[in-house]
Amino acid sequence: MSQSSAALNAPNPMKKKVITALIAVAIGHIGVLWAVSHIKPAELKPIDKKPLQVRFVKIQDQPKPLPPKPKEPPKKPEPKKRGKRS
């Protein structure tokens, strides 16, 4: 029985790798958060410009244009009269 109880209490090498990886990830995240918290924000220069002035204009309705007058049909030329042959 001493062998079976020793096998149950023996540390699993896979557990050690998983725990080591989790600790490494946690330390990495803490390091990144610490670095980001110490970054100085960029200083912006104030803008010394006058604000835009806006003027609203009311558009008046324009009357509809009258339709064009119908064109007179072209006049047909009168047929030429044939003269009598002599």
pLDDT digit string, tens, across residues 48-77: 888 889 999 888 877 777 778 878 777 777
Residue 23 lies in a domain: yes
Residue 30 lies in a domain: yes
Domain encompassing residue 35: 12-40
Is the pLDDT at 21 greater than 70? The verdict is yes
Residue 46 lies in a domain: no
Strand ranges for 1-86 from DSSP E: none
The pTM of this model reads 0.38
Q: Which residue do the tokens 């110490």 mark?
A: 38
- Number of compact structural domains in the chain: 1
Residue 32 lies in a domain: yes
pLDDT digits (tens, 9 = 90+) for 26-43: 999 999 999 999 999 889
How far is residue 2's CA from residue 63's CA, in Å, rounded to a whole number?
Answer: 107
Residue 26 lies in a domain: yes
Residue 62 lies in a domain: no
